[in-house]
Structure 1
Amino acid sequence: MEDILRPIYQERASQANTIGIMLVEKKPQKVSPTTDTFDSILLIIVRNGERPVYVKHYSYDDKKAAMHIVTEAQLNEWMLLGNNRKIFDWLYEGKVIFDRNDFIQHLKKELRDFPFYGRKVKMGIEFAHLIRRYRDGKAFFEEFHYLDAYNHVIHSLHHLARLAIIENGFHPEVTVWPQVKHIDPEIYKLYEELVSSEETMEKRLELLFLASEFLIHSRTQVGSFHFLSVLEEREVWTFNDMMEHKELAVYSVDLSILVEYLIEKNYIEVVLVETKGQGIYHRYYKMAQ
């Protein structure tokens, strides 16, 4: 389909704002999650755009293609937060059609090297997701809502697996479990026991909560490294200070539960400051001594 799409990408390549173009072809299997069932994905990276992502679909005979125009800022956000996992497959597997000033080559090198800062932020985000899912799952378990608990535990194991993969210097792929089977067999075994065991749902969850507690605790320091390193910038923080800080904003809705978890584990201290109301205190936070 490359010949059919050539007029489209040649027009884009001639524009000064375009810094890279890649073509991703569907894999031989009938349904390809990488390309969302499309035969071809045309990824066009631009320096700036009116919108961060613009998508257009094309058809030719019995084939279909999708053009994704993505700004450099959006691409960097996806790579940092990992909230569009297909982008890694596209960058790894795609054919480079146009590469202004070796932009894509530098991008691929950065993916291979996986810089220290990027790893720490990603690990922090996965750890925060992990705490959220684990705590919610445990709450459902204690209320005897076992199917809801199971759903959250599956997700928490997924975040634990991704955390282990990143910790070992790799980007998590779309197919995480074959990847983690080689990197951290202990986590894979937990997952296998949860989905395959002949024990009752209650018993499976009970055993998994016990095992997960240890695995989460053992990764607290590495999982919270980025968050705590930012916290060191100031003596005392309000929660709103954290929400508005550019580097901490990536924790989003998981920020509150992450802070409370780190208080429980004695990484963060609560500072109470009197208000004008009797018996009411402002609640501030600082690094534990």
Structure 2
Amino acid sequence: MEDILRSIYQERASHPNTIGVVAVEKRHKALAATDTFDVILLIIVKENMDPVFVKHYSYQDKKAAMHIVTEKQIHEWLLTGNNKKIFDWLYNGKIVFDRNEKIAELKHELKEFPFMGRKIKIGIEFAKLIRRYSDGKMLFDNLNYLDAYNYVVHSLHHLARLAVIENGFHPEVTVWHQVKQIEPEIYKLYEELICSEETIEKRLELLFLASEFLIHKRTKIGSQHLVEVMEGADYWAFSDLMSHPELLPYSVDLGILVEYLIEKKILEVVNVETKGQSIYHRYYKVAEKLS
């Protein structure tokens, strides 16, 4: 690491707000991991006005990027998978400053991938899968085949990520390479969708049938986290589910997941009378057979 960059991160490391600093150097076969920069300096802080602050530097004939990110934002990315590069940075980066070994603990947790973390990520990924599959099916039924194709590609991607997580691994940028080794059945579906010489209508028809079976097979594990949260009360208003801290990462996909699980008889609707005639508050609970 050049002395000029060392002076930048050492200044940050002296701040009591700084948890740790990770340096990620560009690797020839992984240019995308650093967005073509020669070095990424990931500085993790307790608090900041902005959850993410980025600054670029030039030195000699090279370029570097400093990313100052709050600890909360890092954990959110790791949970939702919305920033895949963060996994590469933490896996392959070099710890150059670590207050109270917080970064070392984070890297160890990433490699171990504890079961609770897996369960939440499976739930979030399953909700995204149901959203993409349902929207794609609706488009297909309305003869919007090209739009349906786009949704099916995304639903297969979520199915692939789900399979990787189930097997105890974090989905990487090269998720299809992982899936080819772990679940060749899903990989084959993806190949058939993009390589088949059948008409797009026929390809989609076959994919929806196959996907429905694979989704059904994963419904129990995909809903496990949500069901466990909901078992904490007799029944729930949807607004209470939306505001529950453990369910916040499900975001806009929570509603369609709840409706899907009602259809599959994993959840039930509870109607409670209102002051208005023939209108009820709609609440939700875990189905009796699961309680």
Structures share fold, TM-score greater than 0.5: yes
Which residue is 2:223 aligned to? Answer: 224
Which residue is 2:68 aligned to? Answer: 69
> Matched residue of 1:144: which SS?
coil
Which residue is 1:25 aligned to? Answer: 25
Which residue is 2:281 aligned to? Answer: 282
- Identity percentage over the alignment? 71
Distance 1:125 1:213 in 2: 18
> Matched residue of 1:83: which SS?
coil
Deviation per CA, 1:60-92: give whole Å up to 9, x if none. Answer: 243211100111111111112211111000001
> Matched residue of 1:16: which SS?
coil
Deviation per CA, 1:145-173: give whole Å up to 9, x if none. Answer: 11100100000000000000000000000
RMSD: 1.2
Which residue is 1:2 aligned to? Answer: 2
Aligned residue runs from structure 1 range 138-287, under 5 A: 138-287=137-286
Distance 1:286 1:13 in 2: 49
Say if 2:146 is the partner of 1:134: no
Distance 2:49 2:209 in 1: 50
Distance 1:144 1:63 in 2: 51
Instruction: Letter of the 2:136 partner, please give it.
Output: G
Gaps of 5+ in 2: none
Distance 1:6 1:247 in 2: 39
| Higher deviation after alignment, 200-209 or 52-61 | 52-61
Deviation per CA, 1:91-132: give whole Å up to 9, x if none. Answer: 011111111222221111101110111101100000000000
Instruction: Letter of the 2:207 partner, please give it.
Output: L
Aligned residue runs from structure 1 range 19-98, under 5 A: 19-29=19-29, 32-98=31-97
Deviation per CA, 1:7-52: give whole Å up to 9, x if none. Answer: 10111122222121111111215x8211112121100111222221
The number of equivalent residue pairs is 288
Distance 2:3 2:92 in 1: 19
| Higher deviation after alignment, 99-108 or 159-168 | 99-108
Deviation at 1:2, TM superposition (A): 3.2
Aligned residue runs from structure 1 range 101-140, under 5 A: 101-140=100-139
Gaps of 5+ in 1: none
Distance 2:271 2:45 in 1: 48
Instruction: Letter of the 1:15 partner, please give it.
Output: H
Distance 2:146 2:60 in 1: 45
| Higher deviation after alignment, 90-99 or 202-211 | 90-99
> Matched residue of 2:78: which SS?
helix
| Higher deviation after alignment, 127-136 or 45-54 | 45-54
Q: Normalising by the residue count of structure 2, what TM-score does the alignment of the two structures yield?
A: 0.96
Deviation at 1:3, TM superposition (A): 2.9
Instruction: Letter of the 2:208 partner, please give it.
Output: F
> Matched residue of 1:70: which SS?
strand
Deviation per CA, 1:197-240: give whole Å up to 9, x if none. Answer: 11110110000000000000000000111011000000011111
Which residue is 2:12 aligned to? Answer: 12
Q: Normalising by the residue count of structure 1, what TM-score does the alignment of the two structures yield?
A: 0.97
Distance 1:43 1:267 in 2: 43
Deviation at 1:281, TM superposition (A): 1.4
Distance 2:73 2:277 in 1: 48
Distance 2:280 2:108 in 1: 50
Deviation at 1:186, TM superposition (A): 0.5
